[in-house]
């Protein structure tokens, strides 16, 4: 029988005395954010370049150039900082200029609307404001009006629309009584229950419109239906295209819409902001329509 030889375990003195590997230095949160891989700046740059190309394909290359120059001149100062790789102040400001230019063109504005210095100043600042107050919405929206909910229009494809009637034109609005629609529920495939099963639930509604439907009246900030970037192919010809909001009305109070950060205001304040814009030097309407009564 082969004998088993047990070799003694030899410990290296160097291994005994070697120090343990040191733990990696603790990173601050800012260092972690800077070091992590990110493509935000690159993707945002690509998105803005794509939107510019779409605008230029609509024959608006010269309009883009002129409006962008005005935005660059009148853009208010901002805190251009972001904890992202490559996010320099110059690049972030360039993104703000480009995105504000795209927004103005998409809302229907052209260089002629910003030709007067006061118009360029107020419209650029309103477009870049983030709509923290309703005055910015009144300035920027090509169409402002008050409307009341008339009915819900439900269709065979399970879509549903909130049907509104204009009750008070404020700026470039359709006449009183004009109907328009907002999507409550998009088309939804029919679900046929099996024998003995309960009926299927209704299609899921659009949460902002569901919240809006609980109020009879609202202030609407609308823009042209067709956009040089995102053309509309709606199934109903009178479907409205909102710029922001809408803001429901309670008495004379105008409240923020669904998950909106816009501050509450009053109908009187909205009317006053519209009158001030209609009487401002160099004002040119984006859409011809009915305005509230005003004397300049």
Q: Where are the domains of the chain?
A: 33-127, 134-189+204-278
Q: Which CATH architecture has domain 134-189+204-278?
A: Beta Barrel (2.40)
Q: What is the DSSP string of the chain?
A: -PPPP-PPPPPPHHHHHPPPPPPPPPPPHHHHHHHS---HHHHHHHHHHHHHHHHHHTT-HHHHHHHHHHHHHHPPP-----SSTT--HHHHHHHHHHHHHHHHHHTT--GGGG-SHHHHHHHHHHHTS-S-SHHHHHHH-SEEEEEEEEEEEE-TTS-EEEEEEEEEEEESBPPTT-EEEEEEE-------PPTTSPPPPPPPP-HHHHHHTTSSEEEEEE--S--SSS----SSTTB--EEEEEEEEETTEE---TT--PPPEEHHHHHHHHHHHHTSTT---SS--B------
Residues 249 and 256: their CA atoms lie apart, in Å, by 9
**Shortest CA distance to 224 belongs to which of 58, 44, 45, 50?**
58
Q: What is the residue whose two structure tokens read 């209704």? A: 202
What was the pLDDT predicted at 73?
96
Q: How far apart are CA 177 and CA 248, in angstroms?
A: 19
Q: Give pLDDT, residue 5.
A: 42
CB atoms within 10 A of CB 26: 7
Residues of the chain with pLDDT below 50 are 1-21, 23, 29, 32, 37
What pLDDT sits at residue 29? Answer: 46
Return the closest-CA partner of residue 189 out of 230, 158, 219. 158
| Closest C-alpha to 235, from 197, 271, 280, 186 | 186
Supply the pLDDT for residue 87. 77
Q: Please tell me the predicted confidence (pLDDT) of residue 13.
A: 43
Confidence (pLDDT) at 266? 96
* Other CB atoms within 10 Å distance of the CB of residue 243: 21
CA angle at 226 for the pair 155 and 40, rounded to the nearest 5°: 100
Listed residue (81, 69, 72, 80) closest to 34, CA to CA = 81
Whether residue 168 contacts residue 180, with contact meaning beta carbons closer than 8 Å, is answered with no
């Amino acid at each position: 029988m082969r004998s088993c030889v047990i070799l003694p375990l030899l410990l290296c003195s160097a291994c005994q005395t070697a120090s343990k590997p040191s733990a990696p230095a603790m990173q601050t949160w800012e260092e972690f954010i800077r070091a992590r891989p990110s493509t935000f700046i690159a993707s945002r740059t690509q998105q803005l370049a794509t939107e510019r190309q779409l605008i230029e394909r609509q024959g608006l290359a010269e309009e883009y150039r002129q409006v962008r120059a005005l935005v660059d001149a009148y853009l208010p100062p901002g805190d251009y900082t972001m904890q992202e790789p490559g996010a320099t102040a110059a690049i972030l400001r360039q993104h703000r200029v480009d995105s504000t230019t795209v927004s103005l063109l998409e809302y229907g504005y052209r260089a002629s609307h910003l030709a007067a210095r006061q118009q360029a100043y107020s419209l650029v600042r309103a477009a870049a404001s983030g709509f923290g107050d309703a005055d910015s919405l009144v300035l920027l929206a090509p169409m402002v009006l008050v409307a009341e909910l008339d009915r819900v229009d439900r269709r065979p494809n399970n879509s549903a629309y909130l049907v509104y009637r204009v009750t008070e034109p404020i700026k470039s609005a359709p006449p009183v009584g004009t109907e328009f629609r907002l999507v409550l529920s998009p088309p939804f495939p029919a679900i046929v229950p099996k024998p003995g099963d309960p009926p299927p639930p209704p299609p899921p509604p659009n949460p902002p419109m569901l919240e809006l439907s609980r109020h009879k009246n609202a202030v609407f900030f609308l823009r042209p239906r067709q956009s040089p970037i995102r053309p509309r192919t709606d199934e109903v010809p009178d479907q409205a295209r909102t710029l922001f909001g809408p803001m429901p009305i309670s008495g004379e109070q105008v409240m923020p819409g669904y998950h909106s950060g816009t501050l509450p205001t009053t109908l009187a304040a909205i009317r006053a902001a519209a009158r001030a814009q209609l009487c401002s030097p160099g004002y040119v309407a984006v859409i011809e329509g009915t305005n509230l009564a005003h004397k300049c």
